[in-house]
Chain A
Amino acid sequence: MAEPGKNGTPMLDELEKGPWPSFVTQIKEAAEKNKMSKALLSLLERSYHERIGHWKHGGIVGVMGYGGGVIGRYSDLPEEYPDIAHFHTLRVNMPTGWFYTSDALRTICDIWERHGSGLTNMHGSTGDIILLGTTTDELEPTFAELTANDFDLGGSGSDMRTPSACVGPARCEWACYDTLALAYDLTQTFQDELHRPAFPYKFKFKCAGCPNDCVASIARADMSIIGTWRDEIQIDQKEVKAAEEAGLNIQRDVCNLCPTKCIEWDGKKLEIDDENCVKCMHCINTMPKALRPGKDRGATILLGAKAPIVEGALLSSVLVPFTKIEPPYEELKDMVERIWDFWSEHGKNRERVGELMQRVGLGNFLEAIEVEPTPEMLAHPRENPYVFYEEYYEEGDEEEEEEEE
């Protein structure tokens, strides 16, 4: 087995060069006190030489009662690398908005140094705390310690994945609803769906407080809940002037870059035609003191985004253009249940809800989940003019047409 630190890992050492942080340095540090990390370094070096990964998916490990939260990983060279014959990953439900105290972080790291490789990934793409590398025997003791410290496992496999939220009103004045409260409520309401996989594939919720969408929900969440407003952008004319005096070229950097050209600046007064504002946040981001979202706030609910794993990437489509997001969120949760019912009934194995929506057509999908179509749902004008919609015909219309002919 190659010895790290004695130039036993020449290829990995290359990845420590340069000004950026290196995962190799981190593993080396962990390897000084942890035999799993030490073995991992050697196996990784070997993989780089051989250009082949030495992991296989076990897929059958977990903690009692849960179907998600543990990803089984085994080395295909267990005799040569007995310390990492098992190298399972645990997904731990992160605190909503990723707010930790240093005590909480120390607690997690201490637990992991006792039971696993000591290596973490903060955070995985769904948002969970990722604890990398432990053995099957250590799963239950790790879980017991985590739960004793108020942590729980997150989702994996075909279940509801751990809902995530931007920092929202806790730190950001642009939050149009309480993202933290909603993500927490969804997590608690759907505990069964989080821990007991019953769907055709994964389902992710991401809560973004405003259209800046800091959690990238529009690209990554099966259901994106993005804060917005339906009245006028709040303008502080004095601050607009102050921004100009501070050197901002309002015409060039704000008005000209508004996607719908709905802002005007005459050197004295800034005016916005809110009817035509598409809530892109550009002007607000550029003049944060002068402009802020309106007062009548809520969210747009979108459905169907995914990263390109089985099929291509999808951005989510508008499902509900505007709704108030207030506890107990019954309307939203009822709609979610209708979507899950239809998807569970008609979804193919490993078909995300966005793919199902495309396969059955938006019209059929909306009918099934009892949502009225609205113009905001259209991604682009229809391409085929030879389509007739039933509802355009009143009873008796057909006969009249025939008579005219």
Chain B
Amino acid sequence: MAVTKEEVAEAIYEIVKEYQGKKKFKASDLTKAMIQKYGEAEVDKKLCKAAIRILMDSGRCVYTYFGGSFIELPPEEGVER
């Protein structure tokens, strides 16, 4: 059965949540992690892009900027990192 973008979004969200405050992930790190998890035959970059878009559009994750751009849970307003 093919993996859906919703499933990948959920798996990405779990990683981001688990490591929040401990490790920052770039979109490419998460894409790699997903390809490793599901295998190249099931998941590609396009699917991961669509999954990340779901997380962003729903507001469950946000992009943060700290030298590079990272995907994290929504932070508190104005908190300096």
A binds B: yes
A67 sits at the interface (CB 8 A):
yes
Of A74, A157, A200, the most chain B CB neighbours within 10 A belong to: A157
Interface stretch among A53-61, A97-105, A245-253, A255-263?
Answer: A53-61
Count of A residues near B, CB < 8 Å? Answer: 29
Interface stretch among A15-23, A190-198, A327-335?
Answer: A190-198
Pairwise interchain contact B68-A344, C-beta atoms closer than 8 A: no
A62 contact set on B, CB distance < 8 A: 62-63
B18 sits at the interface (CB 8 A):
no
B37 to chain A, nearest CB (A): 18
Count of B residues near A, CB < 8 Å? Answer: 24
A312 contact set on B, CB distance < 8 A: none
Interface string of B46-75 (1 = CB under 8 A from A): 000100110011010011111111000001
B27 sits at the interface (CB 8 A):
yes
Interface string of A56-72 (1 = CB under 8 A from B): 10111110111110000
B78 sits at the interface (CB 8 A):
yes
Q: Given that A56-B80, A58-B80, A198-B26 are known contacts, is A65 also in contact with B67, CB under 8 Å in the complex?
A: no
Pairwise interchain contact B27-A196, C-beta atoms closer than 8 A: yes
Pairwise interchain contact B69-A65, C-beta atoms closer than 8 A: no
Q: Given that A67-B69, A197-B27, A198-B26 are known contacts, is A59 also in contact with B81, CB under 8 Å in the complex?
A: yes
Pairwise interchain contact B68-A66, C-beta atoms closer than 8 A: no
Pairwise interchain contact B78-A58, C-beta atoms closer than 8 A: yes
A158 sits at the interface (CB 8 A):
yes
Interface string of A196-227 (1 = CB under 8 A from B): 11111100000000000000000000000000
The residues of B with any CB-CB pair to A shorter than 8 Å are 26-28, 31, 49, 52-53, 56-57, 59, 62-69, 75, 77-81
The residues of A with any CB-CB pair to B shorter than 8 Å are 56, 58-62, 64-68, 74, 86, 136, 156-159, 192, 196-201, 344-345, 349-350
